[in-house]
Amino acid sequence: MSRVTALIDGNNFYASCEQSLDASLIGRPLVVLSNNDGCIVARSSEARALGISMGTPYFKVRHKLDRLGVVVRSSNYALYGDMSQRLMSLLEAHCEELEIYSIDEAFAYVNGPSDDNLKPWARQLRAQVHRNLGLPIAIGLGASKGQAKLANHLAKAIPAHAGVFNLLTASDPDTWLESVAIENVWGIGRKLAHWCRLRGVTNARQLRDMPRSQLHARCGVVGIRLQRELQGHACLPLALAPTSKQETCVSRSFSRPIANPEELRQAIATYVVRASEKLRRQQQRAGTLTVFTRTSPFAPAFYSQAATIQLDLPSNDTAILLAAALPLVERIYRPHCRLNKAGVLMQNLQSADHLQQHLLVAVHADEQHRRDRLMNTIDRLNHRYGSGTVGWAVCGMQPGWSMRRHQLSRAATTRLNDVPLVLA
């Protein structure tokens, strides 16, 4: 048996998640918007066919979408995150090793037969994911991550492949590599693609076969590694355990500009609560906290300000982080400035398994244990019954500055009140 690298990802993931829980959307053009209903960040296949471009500001095409009968949805991150976890759990049961690469992508090692014919396995996996989750996926197979990425692109780009392509068993791999433009090669950005085209390298095969010294002079060892990946040498092993985060940031643009210090205080408090939840989920504590705000970069008299505090003891306790962050609001607020965005940044992160004590700060083990249990209880309640079930009064009740999401669908997999009811 041989070990094959697979790249498995969800097709039009955000749009597919919406369609999986609302059957009326299947077969209809659908777009999903970014924060504050700003830009188009996901499109169904039907919306792509209508020529709707990725990243287009919603206000510019709103009337066009209405005229074409396109369904619009606000980003439902609770739904997408939960569907991603379900997808990755299902994939883990069918792969020897799995690296979660993004919310909708995963690299995997699969033990294949001697002839590397994994199409039956891939088709069965696609069918099971669609049956269990209602999500379409594409599977690319190759000898390395780079080849698996190319194969995945070919699986999605050519309908005849039915969502599965194995570069190892392709009759003429060079022909397939020639069909992949240099811009679609994993690791090739816009500037590097332009550099390649100036030298006559326009597709994946030409990049694979170009002089090594020329590529090394431009990209160094990273370029050589990419070239060897395309040649079938596995230079990038799977990252089976996520690396510890160095920083955790929570920031949002407001649905409308704010100039009231109390609203800025509510916003900072809301982002601190969210950041502390992330820290606990990551099993980390923060030693430094920064709050910041700014006006719109397109408005006259641009204003931006930040304030930082060093904690005596690293913490992920929401109450402690709020007590440290809220006094900083006065330092970043400026009267009569119409603030457009704010956020918090948690820095100097360390593992929650060990707490470095401070000589001048007394910490009682019983009190620390009680606080940890309280935070854990709040997290479990919010996870089970929906975010915000147990909140902090300082965040306000339904503030007017909160993110604009007029087309938001229900979080039917994470909030009990949003579970669909079927009357029989």
- Give the chain's mean pLDDT: 91
Indicate the pLDDT class of residue 26, thresholds 50, 70 and 90.
Answer: very high
Domain 2-9+80-230 fold is: Alpha-Beta Plaits (3.30.70)
Note the pTM of the prediction, 2 decimals: 0.84
**Contact status, residue 335 vs residue 326, Cβ threshold 8 Å:** no
**Contact status, residue 33 vs residue 60, Cβ threshold 8 Å:** no
Short-list 401, 374, 378, 372, CA closest to 390: 378
Query: pLDDT value at position 115?
Result: 74
Query: pLDDT value at position 193?
Result: 93
Mean pLDDT of 258-269: 94
Domain ranges of the chain: 2-9+80-230, 13-78, 248-395
Query: What is the percent of the chain where pLDDT is above 90?
Result: 70
Is residue 245 over pLDDT 90? no
Query: pLDDT value at position 419?
Result: 79
Structure tokens at 391: 């909140």
Structure tokens at 325: 């962050």
**Contact status, residue 55 vs residue 96, Cβ threshold 8 Å:** no
Is residue 359 over pLDDT 70? no
Query: pLDDT value at position 365?
Result: 78
Query: pLDDT value at position 240?
Result: 77
Indicate the pLDDT class of residue 397, thresholds 50, 70 and 90.
Answer: confident
Domain 13-78: top CATH class: alpha beta
Structure tokens at 32: 């999903």
The strand pairing partners of 309, in sequence order, are 289
Query: pLDDT value at position 1?
Result: 58
Is residue 361 over pLDDT 90? no
* pLDDT single digits (tens) 199-244: 999 999 999 999 999 999 998 999 999 999 999 999 988 887 777 8
Lowest mean pLDDT among 33-47, 105-119, 162-176, 351-365: 351-365
Q: Which residue is it, tokens 């049961």?
A: 93
CATH number of 248-395, picked from 3.40.630.30, 3.30.1490.100, 3.40.50.300, 3.40.640.10: 3.30.1490.100
Is residue 194 over pLDDT 80? yes
Indicate the pLDDT class of residue 56, thresholds 50, 70 and 90.
Answer: very high
Is residue 182 over pLDDT 80? yes
Short-list 69, 79, 131, CA closest to 104: 79
